[in-house]
Amino acid sequence: MQNSIKYRKFILPLIIGIIICALTPIKPESLSPQAWYMFAIFVTTIVACITQPMPIGAVSILGFTAMVLTGVTDIKTAVAGFGNNSIWLIVIAFFISRGFVKTGLGRRIALQFVKLFGKRTLGLAYSLVGVDLILAPATPSNTARAGGIMFPIIKSLSESFDSDPKQGTERKMGAFLIFTEFQGNLITAAMFLTAMAGNPLAQNLAESTAHINITWMNWFLAALVPGLVSLIVVPYIIYKIYPPSIKKTPNAKHWANDELVKMGKISAAEKFMIVIFIISLAFWVLGSLIHIDATLTAFIALSLLLLTGVLEWKDILNETGAWNTLVWFSVLVLMADRLNKLGFIPWLSKLIAESLGHFNWPIVLIILLVFYFYSHYLFASATAHVSAMYAALLGVAVAAGAPPLYSALMLGFFGNLLASTTHYSSGPAPILYSAGYITQKRWWTMNFILGIVYFIIWIGLGSVWMKLIGIL
């Protein structure tokens, strides 16, 4: 029997956890032993999510068990954590995104965009980013968007123009398109509450730790202008600092047309998928007006997909990414909730706020966002990073006097943008990087440059925009 467990990678998390527990006698007096043990378990779990001795779902189960065994929480409270509605929104949205892949609708949309806008390489890049934008609201797995829909098309398109890293011709087209898709993917993930798994988590943490109500609509409205500006500016910057050698792509239209011919006429399943997607989007946008919860909308969409035969029950059972997310998400949300209720997060927020007390709130918030962004070099998952830091940083921002909703949204956006760091930063990163089109040095260098661009657009322009719409 093959053992996939990497036992050595348990060493660091366990050492850190043991050290924190050993410091219990000298812990701050205002914290209970339970709060301190919860902190130790949480840090150990997060570090294990980074070192990954086991899949993240398995690691979270170990953390869950430790919580109950140590008496930090009782089993009834712990199990109830699996019923969180924000988590079920993510899980069901995974199933909805499966419909895009299974029916071929995602691929068809992408090919149509290539056919319409693919005369130049820059136009191709914008068209592919446009597809990501269309799919994002109903695809909480940005990994599924990038890896399941966009990457196969980019790879096939690049190879049709003889752009292949095996031949040393990656700069012809593939490297530019790959990196542009990566950046476009994280931008679109930041634009919609339902476009990345960590976003509903941030929504939940904002509500539970600071009583801030983030809706699908106010997230979208706040992100609309900085998001669209980023989608226009960033591909152009990449085009200038890392240009493809092929500038014109007259054959792209013919290639896309040939691929569409192979796909045949639009199927009934694709038509159903389109209608259900539009219904879901309408309900998410109008949810606060018609009093339909975002999670209920997801259940309605899934029911329609099952009733129309677009998805079968076996498709649901085989969507392992969704069930994996349900497990580890639930555990991490539970841990964050316990840290808050046991008083650790309020204590930490107050401590940091006091240390930054001589600064006004805009400076404090910028410091927090910069720290949040660049600390992602230590993380291999954007969602794990949100779980680890979002609540505490939001608490600090609010304690410093920053507008609560504005702070919650800014931290929510940067929970996606911080993926512009490494080749292991988020799910799409290793998929796109491992294709071999871009070196690690180039990947890190360009990400560093674009990180600065994101700060300018989202903090500068984003703040002005949110002032205009009444959020700031």
Question: What is d(CA 282, CA 257) in angstroms, rounded to the nearest whole number?
Answer: 31
**pLDDT digit string, tens, across residues 147-177:** 767 777 788 778 777 888 888 888 888 899 9
Given a cut of 90, whether residue 369 has pLDDT beyond it is yes
What 3-state class would DSSP assign to 246?
coil
Over residues 329-340, mean pLDDT: 80
Q: What is the DSSP string of 220-238?
A: HHHHHHHHHHHHHHHHHHH
Given a cut of 70, whether residue 10 has pLDDT beyond it is yes
pLDDT cut 90: percent of the chain above it: 35
pLDDT at residue 1, rounded to an integer: 53
Range name among 201-205, 226-230, 445-449 with the lowest pLDDT average: 201-205
Instruction: Report how far Cα 291 is from the mean position of its chain's Cα atoms.
Output: 26
Local structure of residue 427 (DSSP, 8 states): T
For the whole model, what pTM was predicted? 0.74
Between 413 and 284, the higher pLDDT residue: 413
Axis crossing angle, helix 440-454 with helix 216-241, rounded to the nearest 10: 130
pLDDT at residue 2, rounded to an integer: 60
How would you class 70 by CB atoms within 10 Å of its CB: exposed for 0-12, middle for 13-18, buried for 19 or more? middle
> CB within 8 A of 389, min separation 6: which ones?
372, 375
**pLDDT digit string, tens, across residues 198-224:** 898 899 889 888 889 998 899 999 999
Centre a 10 Å sphere on the Cβ of residue 245 and count the other Cβ atoms it contains.
14
Q: Is-contact 230 461, C-beta < 8 A?
A: no
Q: Is-contact 447 421, C-beta < 8 A?
A: yes
**Residue that is written with structure tokens 């560093």 in the block:** 448
Local structure of residue 441 (DSSP, 8 states): H
Question: What is d(CA 173, CA 171) in angstroms, rounded to the nearest whole number?
Answer: 5
Given a cut of 90, whether residue 28 has pLDDT beyond it is no
**pLDDT digit string, tens, across residues 108-131:** 877 887 788 778 889 888 988 988
> CB within 8 A of 426, min separation 6: which ones?
142, 143, 186, 381, 382, 419
Over residues 461-471, mean pLDDT: 94
Over residues 246-271, mean pLDDT: 86
pLDDT at residue 86, rounded to an integer: 66
* C-alpha to C-alpha distances, 106 to 69, 139, 153, 179, 360, nearest whole angstrom: 45, 11, 10, 20, 46
